[in-house]
Amino acid sequence: TLDEIPVQAVFATTTMSAENGIQFSASSEYATHLAGNDDAVYLVLTAQAGTINTDVQRSPLNISLVIDRSGSMESEGKLDFVKQACQTVVQNLGNNDQVSVVSYDSYVNVVSKSGKVTDKDQLIRQIGGLSSGGSTNLSGGMLEGYAQTKTTLAAEQVNRVLLLSDGLANQGITDPGELNKIAQTQFEEHGIGLSTFGVGLDFNEDLMTSLAESGTGNYYFIESADQIPEIFAKELNGLLSVVAQNSTLNITFPANSLSFERAFGYQAAITGNKVQVRFNDIFAEEEKTVVLKFSKKDLNETADLNFSCALQFDDVQGGYQRLALEQDLTIGGTDNLSVYQESRNPKATRECMLFEANDRMELAIKAVDSREYDNARTYADAGIVYLQTGIEKYGSNEELQVQLTNFKAYRAELNDIEARSDMEMKYIQKSNKSSNYSLRKKK
């Protein structure tokens, strides 16, 4: 049963909720579009999960723990902390869960094949016996993790590979495009997600982030080895509280009137007049938001812009029934400036500001990666002005304040960025990329 709850209809915002507590809201920044005006058209779409019903049995897990045991994992006790984290995961698994353990350096080793844990003590001893040595065949470990997970695929499970590395992929498949295609294909064809964990300062954070994006999982930057158990526990707690699976957002837009520019927050696929965003698993109390940006083809047009938006998902707590929260959204045309300005949705505007500012931060960060330091400072200055001006005009919220604080802190780092050591540079870049990722993912 789906209950439709209109909210602030004057701002073209609607919210729908399912009995399991999943809410889906669709809004536009403005309820109207102004003839002769070239402002972009933004849609803000959010899936919000409620608390988990503890009276309902959770979905069984089908996971593979893929552990980097290359030589560099010996430093700072990284491998010891990883082993501790994986042992804790094993301790928390239930009778219906499936798990495999894969380790990799120059070669790939299956520590334990995928299956139910019948002897936790033995598996814990096997994990404890891992030692470090060799190079980083990340692709080999990842592929074996997928292979193990596929041997125990079944309906109504949470299927995920947890991939950890502290170094660069220097053996096997090393091309980022090929690796991302593997992650995307494994999810699309088999429903297996991928979460990545980068430890220390020597891994490729861009690759680990894009792998998580392509695999519809989560990315974690683990600055120090002693954080590994805590971060693993965070991912495990999420997997143990999945309330919706195979979540897909589908939007139909008026392609005769609008051109799709881009999506903020999540990857999007576009076919004709349809945009699709894959959210995959939704954890209890998690929010997933995507902002879609369109440009007008005919600036003088005053016709209504009609959108159809639908969030489809498998209701884990409702017997895996496939549900759809569907909502039509209309942006009316006007040639009256006052009508246009008064139709602005302040909350939606702040969401758009956040994602646009987040994108500007990415430009500054990428400029530093390319050693274009003057460009980086220009991007950062422009981003700060953009946020400050927007906040003054449209108000603020906690996320915008965090983004502004991050921008100012990063700009201060840029004052003498050329003089920073290699290790300092790596830390600055990895920590700021991680913060920016967490903001756009609402983590």
pLDDT (tens place) for every residue of the chain, 443 residues total: 223 323 333 344 556 665 668 999 999 999 999 999 999 999 999 999 998 888 888 999 999 999 999 999 988 889 999 999 999 999 999 999 999 999 999 999 999 999 998 899 999 999 999 999 888 899 999 999 999 999 999 989 999 999 999 988 888 999 999 999 999 999 999 999 999 999 999 899 999 999 999 999 999 999 998 999 999 999 999 999 999 999 999 999 999 999 999 999 999 999 999 999 999 999 999 999 999 999 999 999 999 999 999 999 999 988 899 999 999 999 999 999 999 999 999 999 999 999 999 999 999 999 999 999 999 999 999 999 999 999 999 999 999 999 999 999 999 999 999 999 999 999 999 999 999 999 999 99
CA–CA separation, 226 and 49 (whole Å): 31
Which residues are CB-contacts of 63 (< 8 A; sequence separation ≥ 6)?
89, 97, 98, 99, 100, 149, 158, 159, 160, 161, 162, 239
Burial of 55 (0-12, 13-18, 19+ CB in 10 A): exposed
Residue 391: what pLDDT?
A: 96
- Token pair for residue 258? 């609008």
CA-to-CA dists, residue 332 to 30, 41, 303, angstroms: 9, 12, 7
CA–CA separation, 320 and 158 (whole Å): 12
- Label the pairing between strands 158-165 and 98-104: unpaired
Largest CA distance in the chain: 73
CA–CA separation, 289 and 304 (whole Å): 25
- Phi first, then psi: what are they for 306, rounded to 5°? -110, 130
CA–CA separation, 386 and 399 (whole Å): 15
pTM of the model: 0.92
17: three-class secondary structure by DSSP: strand
Residue 14: what pLDDT?
A: 56
Q: How many CB atoms lie within 10 A of CB 231?
A: 19
- Token pair for residue 429? 């870049």
Residue 19: what pLDDT?
A: 60
Residue 171: what pLDDT?
A: 87
Structural contact between residues 140 and 109, judged by C-beta atoms closer than 8 angstroms: no
Question: Which amino acid is it at 364?
Answer: A
Structural contact between residues 440 and 355, judged by C-beta atoms closer than 8 angstroms: yes
Which residues are CB-contacts of 124 (< 8 A; sequence separation ≥ 6)?
87, 90, 91
Q: How far is CA 31 from the centre of its chain?
A: 28
Q: How far is CA 165 from the centre of its chain?
A: 19
- Token pair for residue 60? 């069984």
